[in-house]
Amino acid sequence: MTSSSGLPVAIIGAGPIGLAAAAHLHERGEPFVILEAGATAGATVREWAHARMFSPWKYNIDTASARLLAATEWTRPPADGFPTGGDLSDRYLEPLARHPAVAPHLRFGTRVVGVARSGFDRMRTPGRTQAPFAIRVATARGEEEVLARAVIDASGTWNQPNPIGGSGLPALGERAAAAAIATGIPDVLGAERARYAGHRIAVVGSGHSAFNVVLDLVRLAESAPGTRVDWIIRKRDIRQLFGGGSADQLAERGKLGLRVEALIAAGRVAVATGFSVDRVETASGGVTLHCRDRAVGPVDRIIATTGFRPDFSALSEIRLNLDPIVEAPTALAPLIDPNVHSCGTVPPHGAAHLRHDDPDFYLVGMKSYGRAPTFLLMTGYEQIRSVVAALIGDHEAARKVELALPETGVCSTAGVAGAAQPCCDPGCCGEPAAVAGTKACCDDSCCP
């Protein structure tokens, strides 16, 4: 059996969290290797380069990474400025990836396709924890294996979008309509303008990605006649959808919700609430989305902003300890479950909450949150600081986790046990809808 002694810590992903792991490991004098599937650092961030973040720079830069960059000619962005994804890449991630303490250990075009304990399948236990991790990677040269003493999986969830089907499975006909469906935050005002200008577009989803897409499409409609926007939202009551407004400690997040709310009130977006897509029908006239006996369409394009979920297919030989609902580490899941948790109240958490049954393997960053949508970069940076401390045996530093998240009204407590209420939009009973421009949602228990 190969010894783990002298082997590096393998970091999967060269995004903000993966590069932060490299900076912390460098500070601690620990060898590491970064395995990145893309051709650049922050490759997935580049996919939303045009979108502006609602958190300012002061929440988006890791402390160890900043210390590393401070010794170079790097100019730190203004703390209260709001970067786009492109800004985050150009002004922070790229300089960090080029730093001489990081660059020699970064392997681009290296996709992880499997992780195991060297010589041990999932079933074998005696001697397992002494074996190094064997990481199988696909490169332009073919398949290779990297050995590591520990693994930090910061690969994120961007490449695993949720379907638009309300049951968690693709809606009937969704796969057949794939050519008409885009995910994430398409650049509808720039590189992808021609695909959307003058068309009828359905946006499915209710998070901040949906907010950005809806706002961009409304701007597109101002200069491209014939552009129409239908917004499909699974929630029945959208009054808490728009967040904390002026009370949101992330001011840009609050403003984003207020702007979208104003567009709906002005009738510039057609909104279908309580609409859980169960069928997608493709015909010569376009694509129609169905929710039981209701329909939206036909539309020309669909933009799915339904969130993401982790891909564990490469980890089938690792003994993961995951919550069956959230798909986050078992100890972390109750702290972030959107069914029972309100944003801004995430307790401090670090290595102790991120452990799995295979020691020295950690999911961090967005992937550690499973299907929960409330992750912020600052959360991941604190996770990394704690995990690296644990890996080098500094258990006191690993336990001393400090995290203060900005308060927000984005997450509702309506789903908390004992607090659930039926959807009682007055529009169900013949009165105006609760929010101008929306279609009322109708629960049988609402009306007398």
Taking only the tens place, the pLDDT of each residue in 165-205 is: 999 999 999 999 999 999 999 999 999 999 999 999 999 99
Examine the pLDDT at 43 and tell me if it is beyond 80.
Answer: yes
3-class secondary-structure state, position 116: strand
Sign of CA dihedral 181, 183, 188, 192: negative
Give the domain ranges of the chain.
9-159+308-399, 178-307+422-439
The fold adopted by the segment(s) 9-159+308-399 is FAD/NAD(P)-binding domain (3.50.50)
Of the chain, the percentage scoring pLDDT greater than 90 comes to 71
Q: How sure is the predictor about 266, in pLDDT bands with cuts at 50, 70 and 90?
A: confident
Task: Give the pLDDT confidence of 430-440 residue by residue, as tens digits.
Answer: 434 433 333 33
Q: What is the pLDDT of residues 324-370, one digit of tens each?
A: 999 999 999 999 888 775 445 667 789 999 999 999 999 999 999 99
The pLDDT of residue 265: 78
Domain covering 178-307+422-439: architecture: 3-Layer(bba) Sandwich (3.50)
- 3-state DSSP call for residue 11? strand
Is the separation of the CB atoms in 391 and 150 below 8 Å? yes
Return the minimum-mean-pLDDT range out of 118-127, 233-242, 288-297: 233-242
Mean pLDDT of 88-102: 97
Q: How far apart are the first and last CA of the chain?
A: 72
| Reported pTM | 0.85
Q: What is the mean pLDDT of the chain?
A: 86
Q: Cβ neighbours of residue 374 under 8 Å, at least 6 residues apart?
A: 336, 338, 341, 343, 346, 410, 411
Q: What is the pLDDT of residue 250?
A: 47
